[in-house]
A and B are shown apart, each in its own frame.
Chain A
Amino acid sequence: MSAPSNYFYDGQIRRYISQFIRMMSDFYVAFGADRNGNISYQRVPVVYGDQSRQAATILRNNSENTLNSVPAMAVYISGLSFDQARLQDPTFTQTMQIRQRHFDNETGTYTSQEGQSYSVERLMPAPYKLTLKLDIWTSNTEQKLQLVEQLSQLFKPALELQSTDNYIDWASLTYVLLTDTTWDSRSVPTGSEEPISIATLTFEMPIWISTSVKVKKMGVIQKVITNFQELETMAEIGQTVTTVNNYGIMLYNVGSNYFLKLLKPSDIVTANTYGIDAVTAQHSWTQLIGEYGEYRANSSEIRISTPNDSEIIGTIAINPTDDSVLIFNPFNDTLPANTMQNINAIIDPLTVNVNSFLTNPAVGTRYLLVNDVGDYENGSDGAEAWKGTSGQNLVAHANDIVEYNGNFWRVVFDSQLVDSLQYVTNLTTGIQYKWQHHQWTKSYDGVYNAGEWMLVL
């Protein structure tokens, strides 16, 4: 069963306690000479004092006859209070940019090369004051003196304590402050009772209790790398946008597959007969990505800024046979959706080959025209190839979309009347086109200049 999304527990106080017990551990007391003249030293165990009854029974071997060992020390929490004085901006968020060394999964070691890059967002933790008591049970005064002398010199008046050694954990460092010492739980005179002798040291620990952090792939920072010293005015800051190595990219498709190539400003992009872009220059994606981090197939992303301020986002994978080509798998929800039915082709009605695709098309065939066809003023005799079964003429303007309804061609998209943004895909090339500003342009295929895309590793 997976944890609910609103569940969070990191064992923070547990770590403080375990470190505190560690701090108080491994102290020894010396016993006097035994009957053979040998002096011995006994390590003093430190346990958590608020133990469960069952655990205590197990430790006692479920027997009345088990002997409790002394000397011993016990740690327990006597208070946990919110520390108002240390309260800071509770909404403060700090982001760390972390670059890791590459981890070689085969050897299980880090290499000297750059690996994953992350952004870590940390929210201001809550300040608390943790009060701990350390009870020291001894069977005689000399034992107590030995332990107190060893312990008390540590605190002048505090000793640092870490709960983790994680570079990111800004709440891990605290200190243990000795605030009070109770010499003995017994009173003098003792009387007829024989209580055990317990000395108590009271400590305060200012701690932070944090919520979870957000770990994200580092990417945004890599888009804008600006040398501010080269800027003359602050206004230029907002105008200076660069992309990795000032590369542009070319997005193109083959069928339903999309690809990306790197472009330098000097590279020449050409389009083939079908309008698909091509470039002969080849630049290595592997080399480029290597400068910024570690690429992960189908996880690393490229984000492309479109002119209408949206982004096309997709995962990438380097073509195993040609590292100048990046396989781009856009997320469908980041692609603009068609607003009209697909078209079968884009044709020039003046030069199109007249064949069965024109004279005997399937019902619903749709073409985008790049030139006018027919004449409204000469409605009696239009182009033969576009006439319907009953001789209906077709009159359409360039940029119109016509559709065959089984009997004749008719205009289904009148470029003279439509002003709104429209998207349609050409089934022949798979390219989506966009109707805007009274012209058809490629929707997202094409060239994007430096600054219009980013690499998210």
Chain B
Amino acid sequence: MARLSLWKDGKHSNDYKFFDRRISEMFTVGGTGILCHKYLGPIAQGAQITTTGVSTVNTDVLTVSNTGNVNLGDTITCSNVPTNAKVIAKNATTITLSANITANIASGTTVGVSQYASQPSYTNQSEKNIQDLLWLENRDRKYDTDVYKMRGIYQRQDQDFDLSQFGLFLQTGTIFMVFHLRDMVDLIGRKLMNGDVLELQHLTDYDALDQDVPAALKRYYVVGDASFASEGFTPTWWPHLWRVKLNPLVDSQEYKDILNNITVGNNNTPISQILSNYDKNIQVNDAVIREGEANVPLSGYDTSSLYVQPESIPPQPLRTADDVVDKADEIHDTADEGLLTAQDVPYAYLSGDKVAPNAVAMGMGIQFPQNALSGEFFLRTDYLPNRVFRYDGKRWVAINDVQRTSLTQGANNQTQLGTFVNASGSFVNADGNTVNVKQSLSKALTPKADN
């Protein structure tokens, strides 16, 4: 009689199967419902183009549909193309690689083009891909649109909120949940892994403070770590349980594929708008900005309400030999008497504005008016910054530059920094190409393919 042994030399014995079925049944009987959003791998970044002809082995040219998004030095990702092959030349329909292809590439094959070698443009959707090989992270993740129903078991425990600078966090929000290994693999095709997102249906919150939300608040967790559960080993020494460490989900870039694509309510509201505190944080932020804008609408100081005492005789321009003899009506202390002078502008740091002293009438434009009267003010809008002038009878005297500007980030911010960051527009060069004004320092006027 053979000696009694539940270990069967590495085989999954009937004992194992017996145990496994009983354990699976226990999950069916006592487990809680879990909806699994399966991680499929990073979303393809960079450009994806398609070959339009057959490329034969040991050649380095790919015929493609369009090379508009291809630049010299770009990394090519495609089956039968050596790893890290780069584009060394291109024309409208072909790209030349830095290495020969290892096998024929059929027409209609997808070719990935990426600017950075460490961020390949994958042509296959796989959990094995890593989006950024420098930082070793997957930022833009793709999730299966199908939702897998699973059963899991975990131990409930009381939890407290941790008040951080970013709001309330569940201090003990991490939970450990076990799943039946074989059922899990049979269902989703693999074990749960880091990045899979699980919805715990039994924690759905139907009683949020805001009762106007169009749906109950679902509870999401993301798998942090996963390993065999120690309690899942039977006397056969084979594991039956998969233990995952679940962290509360956050509304981050990584999970936008779930949060932006699940909609609820009659208006198909993305679930991120219901679950996330992003909108509220933006509202809070906007309120603070509005308060700041009320206190300082524009940079510098507001002197517009100040009254400027007119002076009787304005400064006269220097006379030159070319000056004609004064005419009878050029009497200083009559025509110009009492008009505001350049010296009348109250000094205040960065107070130049688009108003004349005492807000007297002022025209504006890109050229001075003809037949201007002595003492007349004019805003030249073609000057950057705009400049206020005053006509003293012989010349237009610069009074002040318009220095006041919004300090809020955005197009209205005309500070020196703002005009660089917010530079917009483009121009057409001599070759007829449109050139954007705002460019990265590292890429401005870099050479282009000239083969």
* Residues of chain A whose beta carbon lies under 8 Å from any beta carbon of chain B: 15, 18-19, 21-23, 25-27, 29, 31-35, 40, 42-43, 45-51, 53, 56-72, 74, 76, 98-103, 110-115, 135, 137, 139-143, 150, 154, 162-167, 172-173, 192, 194
Q: State whether A67 touches B293 (Cβ < 8 A).
A: no
Q: B297 — which chain A residues lie within 8 A by C-beta?
A: 165
Q: B132 — which chain A residues lie within 8 A by C-beta?
A: 141-142
Q: State whether B288 touches A64 (Cβ < 8 A).
A: no
Cα separation A113 to B309 with both chains bound (whole Å)? 10
Let me know if B169 is at the binding interface, CB within 8 A: yes
Closest to A65 in B: B217
Cα separation A33 to B114 with both chains bound (whole Å)? 13
Q: State whether B250 touches A140 (Cβ < 8 A).
A: no
Let me know if B75 is at the binding interface, CB within 8 A: no
CB distance from B154 to the nearest CB of A (A): 15
Cα separation A22 to B224 with both chains bound (whole Å)? 36
Q: State whether B309 touches A99 (Cβ < 8 A).
A: yes
Q: A57 — which chain B residues lie within 8 A by C-beta?
A: 161, 168, 209
Quick one: given A45-B281, A162-B299, are A32 and B140 in contact (CB under 8 Å)?
A: yes
Cα separation A60 to B348 with both chains bound (whole Å)? 45
**B283-301 to A contact mask, C-beta < 8 Å, 1/0:** 0110011011101111111
Closest to B272 in A: A67
13 other A-B residue contacts (CB within 8 Å) besides A62-B209, A139-B250, A165-B298: A19-B292, A22-B292, A25-B409, A26-B409, A32-B43, A45-B282, A45-B285, A59-B167, A60-B277, A61-B217, A63-B209, A142-B132, A162-B299
Quick one: given A65-B275, A165-B302, are A34 and B256 in contact (CB under 8 Å)?
A: yes
Closest to B138 in A: A140
Q: A64 — which chain B residues lie within 8 A by C-beta?
A: 159, 170, 173, 203, 205, 219
Q: B277 — which chain A residues lie within 8 A by C-beta?
A: 59-61, 66-69
Cα separation A110 to B284 with both chains bound (whole Å)? 34
Q: State whether B166 touches A63 (Cβ < 8 A).
A: no
Q: State whether A139 touches B253 (Cβ < 8 A).
A: yes
CB distance from B120 to the nearest CB of A (A): 13
**CB-CB contacts below 8 Å: B297-319 with A:** 297-309
Quick one: given A15-B295, A59-B167, A167-B351, are A110 and B45 in contact (CB under 8 Å)?
A: no
Let me know if B214 is at the binding interface, CB within 8 A: no
Q: A113 — which chain B residues lie within 8 A by C-beta?
A: 307, 358
Q: State whether B302 touches A166 (Cβ < 8 A).
A: yes
CB distance from A43 to the nearest CB of B (A): 7
CB distance from B379 to the nearest CB of A (A): 16
Q: B252 — which chain A residues lie within 8 A by C-beta?
A: 69-71, 139-140
Taking a contact as CB atoms closer than 8 A, the residue among A22, A76, A101 that contacts B288 in the complex is: A22
Cα separation A45 to B276 with both chains bound (whole Å)? 13
Cα separation A89 to B102 with both chains bound (whole Å)? 82
Quick one: given A19-B295, A68-B166, A99-B306, are A165 and B209 in contact (CB under 8 Å)?
A: no
Closest to B42 in A: A32
* A40, A51, A113 — most chain B CB neighbours (10 Å): A51
CB distance from A112 to the nearest CB of B (A): 5
Let me know if B151 is at the binding interface, CB within 8 A: no
Q: A163 — which chain B residues lie within 8 A by C-beta?
A: 295-296
Cα separation A130 to B256 with both chains bound (whole Å)? 38
Closest to B247 in A: A194
Q: State whether A141 touches B137 (Cβ < 8 A).
A: yes
Q: A66 — which chain B residues lie within 8 A by C-beta?
A: 208, 217, 275-277
**B132-176 to A contact mask, C-beta < 8 Å, 1/0:** 100101011010000000000000000101010111111001100
Q: A140 — which chain B residues lie within 8 A by C-beta?
A: 135, 137, 139, 252-254
Closest to B349 in A: A173
Q: State whether A60 touches B168 (Cβ < 8 A).
A: yes
Quick one: given A49-B165, A165-B302, are A69 and B250 in contact (CB under 8 Å)?
A: yes
Quick one: given A19-B292, A167-B301, are A114 and B275 in contact (CB under 8 Å)?
A: no
Q: State whether B135 touches A34 (Cβ < 8 A).
A: no
Closest to B46 in A: A33
Quick one: given A63-B209, A68-B277, A154-B417, are A26 and B359 in contact (CB under 8 Å)?
A: no
Q: A43 — which chain B residues lie within 8 A by C-beta?
A: 282
CB distance from A164 to the nearest CB of B (A): 5
Q: B254 — which chain A residues lie within 8 A by C-beta?
A: 139-140
Cα separation A61 to B254 with both chains bound (whole Å)? 23
Closest to A48 in B: B288
Q: A61 — which chain B residues lie within 8 A by C-beta?
A: 208-210, 213, 217, 277
Cα separation A278 to B350 with both chains bound (whole Å)? 55
Let me know if B257 is at the binding interface, CB within 8 A: yes
Q: State whether A31 touches B139 (Cβ < 8 A).
A: yes
CB distance from B210 to the nearest CB of A (A): 5
Closest to B131 in A: A32
CB distance from B146 to the nearest CB of A (A): 14
Q: State whether A46 touches B253 (Cβ < 8 A).
A: no
Q: State whether B208 touches A67 (Cβ < 8 A).
A: no
Taking a contact as CB atoms closer than 8 A, the residue among A21, A49, A76 that contacts B285 in the complex is: A21
Q: A101 — which chain B residues lie within 8 A by C-beta?
A: 305-307, 358-359
**B407-445 to A contact mask, C-beta < 8 Å, 1/0:** 111100000010001000000000000000000000000
Q: State whether A67 touches B43 (Cβ < 8 A).
A: no
Taking a contact as CB atoms closer than 8 A, the residue among A32, A74, A167 that contacts B166 in the complex is: A74
CB distance from B127 to the nearest CB of A (A): 15
